[in-house]
């Protein structure tokens, strides 16, 4: 059974347009589904209050109030800002069964979400998100 098709993105650019807007590292993760190495992202251990936006399009994705220390090497959140801020889709790549997290506005790859890992969060979910997919706007 194949996954249902995604709704069209609200922001749709060509690969060349994305390459002009993003660094090569950002493009590799956001537009090609790559993953940054664990522990190297700028937001892994950040506790600054604010809003996390999609680095590609600026859509609000997560808030610092939903961020928690999972010690997994990537920023972790237990819930997106709005239920429609992200799209979840099955990901069976690399011999694993996972759930990919995409920005609902531009369909950029953000990371994966995991359930039932035993973290003491209200949702029992860990949105494991690449720092390079995010931009933190600190609370004024």
Catalytic residues: 128
In terms of C-beta density within 10 A (0-12 exposed, 13-18 middle, 19 or more buried), how is residue 135 classed? middle
CB of 62 closer than 8 Å to CB of 77:
yes
**Using alpha carbons only, how large is the chain's radius of gyration in Å?**
14
Query: CA–CA separation, 61 vs 131, rounded Å?
Result: 12
Token look-up 């011999």 returns: 95
Helix (H, G, I), strand (E, B) or coil at 121: coil
Strands of the 76-77 sheet, one edge to the other: 67-68, 76-77, 125-129, 109-115, 98-103, 86-91
Name the DSSP class of 90: E
């Amino acid at each position: 059974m194949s996954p249902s098709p995604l709704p069209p993105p609200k922001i749709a650019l060509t690969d060349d347009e994305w390459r002009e807007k993003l660094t090569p590292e950002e493009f590799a993760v956001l537009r090609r589904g790559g993953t940054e190495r664990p522990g190297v992202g700028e937001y892994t251990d950040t506790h600054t209050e604010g809003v996390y936006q999609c680095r590609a399009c600026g859509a609000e994705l997560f808030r610092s109030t939903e961020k928690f220390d999972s010690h997994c090497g990537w920023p972790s959140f237990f819930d997106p800002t709005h239920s429609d801020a992200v799209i979840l889709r099955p990901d069976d790549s690399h011999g694993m069964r996972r759930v990919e997290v995409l920005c609902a506005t531009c369909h950029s790859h953000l990371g994966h979400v995991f359930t039932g890992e035993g973290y003491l969060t209200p949702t029992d979910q860990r949105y494991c998100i690449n720092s390079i997919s995010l931009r933190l706007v600190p609370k004024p």
